[in-house]
Amino acid sequence: MAGILTKLAFRNLWRQRRRTILTCLALAFGIYMVIILDSFVGGMTEMAGRNIVQLQTGDVQIQAHAYVDDPTDRSLDHVFAYSDFTDDLRQLDQVSAMTPRLSFAAELHNGMDDYHVRAMGVDPLTDPDVFTTQQYLAGQWLEPGQQQVVVGARVAQLLDLTVSDYVILLTRTANNAFQALDLEVVGILDTPHPEVNLAVYVPLDMAQTSLGLDQAITSLHMTVSGSAKSAYEAISSVVEQQNSTALGAYTWEQAAEDFMVMAQSSRAIHSMLLSMLILIAIVGVVNAILLGAMERTREIGVLKAMGMSEREVTQEFVTEAFGIGFVGSAAGVLLALLTNWFLVEYGINPYGDMDLGAGIPLRGHLYGVWNWTIIAGAFMVGILASVLAGIVPAIRAAGKSPIWALRQ
Amino acid sequence: MKRLVLLMLLLVCNSGSAIAETAEQIMKMVEANVYYGEAYMESDMTIRSGRREMTKTMSIWVQGQNALAEFTNPADRGTKYLKLEDEMWIFFPDAEDLVLISGHMLRQGFMGSDMSYEDMMTTEKLSELYDLELESQEDLDGRPTWVIGATAKEGVDVSYAIRKMWIDQEYHISVREELYAVSGRLLKVSRVEEIDQIAGRNYPVTVVTEDALRRDSSTTLRILHIDFDIDVADGLFSLESLQR
């Protein structure tokens, strides 16, 4: 009997092929969007996270709470001597590399124009152990103690700078007096992190001397191995041992709290959109089954008069819903797999060289990711939602009396 | 012969009197001219940047550490700046909003000029902030001047670590001033183009300031009218009066 019902269901779907195809297409589109949007959002989040870790924070950083609470604070009011921590941190197995940085506000002058930048004193020797900044460098990296600067690509573009140009970096010392440094541009950084492209990098020791800061830094960045949680706890305990209430250890997620909040909001919007798409697909299935049942009222009467039970009629309609769900979901998944392969392999560059704005640490090519849980989940949900959407109209259709149905 | 020797001795003593002044004494004479208790002035400020030029007019009331400036040119009419000791507030009439300028904002140019808010806010006497040294005497535009070097005193927070001033020996006014960064790089140059005698004191009424780091950029501040020792209305230097 099951075989006959299945045959009957698929014949009925084929009889109304235009409606079936449209319903399947609506469902396929919903499934396709679920997978592609998830891949896109997942890819963006992964890339942004990687950019933050590799170019901005490292896995864990030690910094004053004041700077984390107010990321726009560029004052030198909360600097610390990193030599207090280095011995203890080196003894931790989890810390595989560390490097100090000194962040300060400055104006970069080219003689004609000037631009407000975040300047970063970096240790030219240890910075590459934690950050991948040099991978995006055109020209040379910094040398300790030299009057040199590596300029972010956006700053270089705004001030029309090229390698070998000379600039003046105007800033304030720890005593608030103006300090003007004549620096040679030795390299230009074009990274996928817009904030880095708006910054300038100078040798840490030169910056410390010029700003009147003896060995002081604003942050100590670390790459950790093994469990990030245990590394974070170990580093936190080192900070606590120093009894420094102003300082704290921060994971990259904590340090980039604004981005994490934004990523969560984007996930929430993403989920809402997906729910809407699935709802549209379900409405399509309900519509197809209801119309099918209405058009075939007399046929249902004949089937029931020939001895088919209500359960079997219901089964026949549910099988039709299953058929729509299966074909629609399979088509959606298939199409999504093809598109996602392209996204993962080649990516897309919807904004060209423009930054995404709104503080999103991404630019250039955006890539997708393979999320097999979502792909399998979307396929299953597509079928299940179709079957569930078909049950009520199927029961309604099957509940009609054969005499009434035949009179229609 | 005796009379000739006496005459020569007098001449030497006379010409040496200028050199005999110490930098502190010279600065005290300058400060006696340019510092005042209360004042009301009307002035205009012409800001040039490349080919662009704009002029703003304002009325200013000063009392000790406090000052109130109200812009009167059409584009900025009603915009007010209030300096209350170490704080600077701005009132924008269109937004009816009060803004406290602090942190890095204080380093920005005052209304787009070559003078920063900090420059405008400094009211302490230079002799209190800097160690002064009489470096030489020079003729500047045909007039004799004392050249005084000023280095920030230990532990004192000042914007410019080094200053160099050319003091007119007759008017006791700093007719040229160079402001330097800690590194010794020249940052700003200001020169007095006109001095007027007002209420028994010499006062610079036209001052041109140039940003040495920017090409073709200057700000000319002209004092059109000034009254010293005025009676300041009660509550003039308050946030309430700023919003009135």
What's the pLDDT tens digit per position in B168-198?
Answer: 999 999 999 999 999 999 999 999 999 988 8
Mean pLDDT of A260-277: 75
* B160 closest CB neighbour out of A75, A112, A178: A178
The CATH number of whichever domain residue B39 belongs to comes to 2.50.20.10
**A185's torsion region: left (phi>0), alpha (psi -120 to 50) or beta?**
beta
Q: For testing the chain B interface, which of A171, A178, A183 should be mutated: the one with the most B CBs within 10 Å?
A: A178
In a domain, B174, yes or no: yes
Is pLDDT above 90 for A403? no
pLDDT classification of A362: cutoffs 50, 70, 90: low
Question: Is A109–B214 a contact, with Cβ atoms under 8 angstroms apart?
Answer: yes
* A178 closest CB neighbour out of B104, B181, B215: B181
Question: Is A175–B157 a contact, with Cβ atoms under 8 angstroms apart?
Answer: yes
Q: How many domains does chain B have?
A: 1
Is pLDDT above 90 for A27? no
DSSP state of B239: H
Residues of chain B with pLDDT > 90: what percent?
35
CB neighbour list of residue A150: distance below 8 Å, 6 or more residues apart: A137, A139, A141, A142, A185, A186, A187, A188, A189, A200, A201, A202
Identify all chain A residues contacting B103, using CB atoms and an 8 Å cutoff: 75
Question: Contacts from B97-102 at CB under 8 Å and sequence distance 24+?
Answer: B98/B239, B98/B242, B98/B243
Mean pLDDT of B21-31: 88
Identify all chain A residues contacting B179, using CB atoms and an 8 Å cutoff: 178
In a domain, B9, yes or no: no
Mean pLDDT of all residues in chain A? 84
CA A139 from centre of chain:
31
pLDDT of residue A217: 93
In a domain, B177, yes or no: yes
CB contact B187 to A (< 8 Å): yes
pLDDT of residue A351: 66
CA A211 from centre of chain:
37
Is pLDDT above 70 for A406? no
In a domain, B237, yes or no: yes
* B213 closest CB neighbour out of A114, A172, A177: A114
| Beta-strand pair B186-198/B201-211 | antiparallel
SS (H, E, C) chain A: CHHHHHHHHHHHHHHCHHHHHHHHHHHHHHHHHHHHHHHHHHHHHHHHHHHHHHHHHCCEEEEEHHHHHCCCCCCCCCCEECHHHHHHHHCCCCEEEEEEEEEEEEEEECCCCEEEEEEEEECCCCHHHHCCHHHHEEECCCCCCCCEEEEEHHHHHHCCCCCCCEEEEEEECCCCCEEEEEEEEEEEECCCCHHHHCEEEEEHHHHHHHHCCCCEECEEEEEECCCHHHHHHHHHHHHHHCCCCCEEEEEHHHHCHHHHHHHHHHHHHHHHHHHHHHHHHHHHHHHHHHHHHHHCHHHHHHHHHCCCCHHHHHHHHHHHHHHHHHHHHHHHHHHHHHHHHHHHHCCECCCCCCECCCCCCCECCECCCCCHHHHHHHHHHHHHHHHHHHHHHHHHHHCCCHHHHHHC
The predicted-structure confidence for A191-232, as pLDDT tens digits, reads as follows 888 888 999 999 999 999 999 988 899 999 999 888 878 888
Rg from Cα positions in chain B: 20
Mean pLDDT of all residues in chain B? 82
Amino acid at residue number B47: I
CB contact A182 to B (< 8 Å): yes
Identify all chain B residues contacting A212, using CB atoms and an 8 Å cutoff: 182
Residue A114, min C-alpha distance to chain B (Å): 8
**Count of CB atoms situated within 10 Å of the CB of B31:** 15
Give the span between the Cα atoms of A130 and A58, in whole angstroms: 6
The continuous run of DSSP H or E covering B55 comes out as strand B52-63
What residue of A is the nearest CA neighbor of B188?
A178
Q: Is the ipTM of this complex over 0.85?
A: no
Identify all chain B residues contacting A182, using CB atoms and an 8 Å cutoff: 183, 185
Question: Is A109–B213 a contact, with Cβ atoms under 8 angstroms apart?
Answer: yes
In a domain, B10, yes or no: no
Listed residue (A348, A338, A331) closest to A370, CA to CA? A338
Is pLDDT above 80 for A300? no
Compute the count of residue pairs across chains A and B with CB atoms less than 8 Å apart.
56
Identify all chain B residues contacting A180, using CB atoms and an 8 Å cutoff: 181, 183, 185, 187, 213
**pTM listed for this prediction:** 0.76
* Domain boundaries along the sequence of chain A: 2-53+259-407, 79-245
Give the span between the Cα atoms of A367 and A346, in whole angstroms: 7
In a domain, B5, yes or no: no
Give the span between the Cα atoms of A329 and B25, in whole angstroms: 92
Highest mean pLDDT among A62-71, A148-157, A339-348, B229-238: A148-157
pLDDT classification of B11: cutoffs 50, 70, 90: very low
CB contact B5 to A (< 8 Å): no
What residue of A is the nearest CA neighbor of B152?
A177
Q: For testing the chain A interface, which of B51, B107, B129, B130 should be mutated: the one with the most A CBs within 10 Å?
A: B107
Question: Is B159–A175 a contact, with Cβ atoms under 8 angstroms apart?
Answer: no
| Structural domain span for residue B66 | 22-242
Mean pLDDT of B13-27: 64
pLDDT of residue B188: 92
Identify all chain B residues contacting A173, using CB atoms and an 8 Å cutoff: 161, 182
In a domain, B11, yes or no: no
pLDDT classification of B15: cutoffs 50, 70, 90: very low
Identify all chain A residues contacting B214, using CB atoms and an 8 Å cutoff: 109, 111-114
Would you tell me which residues 79-108 of chain B have a C-beta closer than 8 angstroms to some C-beta of chain A?
Answer: 103-104, 107
The predicted-structure confidence for B63-111, as pLDDT tens digits, reads as follows 887 888 888 998 888 888 888 877 788 888 877 778 887 766 666 677 7
What residue of A is the nearest CA neighbor of B106?
A176
* B158 closest CB neighbour out of A113, A177, A181: A177
pLDDT classification of A6: cutoffs 50, 70, 90: confident
Q: How far, CA to CA in Å, does A324 sit from each of A16, A20, A300, A321, A383? A: 12, 7, 20, 5, 8
Residue A115, min C-alpha distance to chain B (Å): 12
DSSP state of B68: E
CB contact A170 to B (< 8 Å): yes
In a domain, B87, yes or no: yes
Mapped onto helix, strand or coil, the DSSP state of residue B181 is coil
Residue A150, min C-alpha distance to chain B (Å): 20
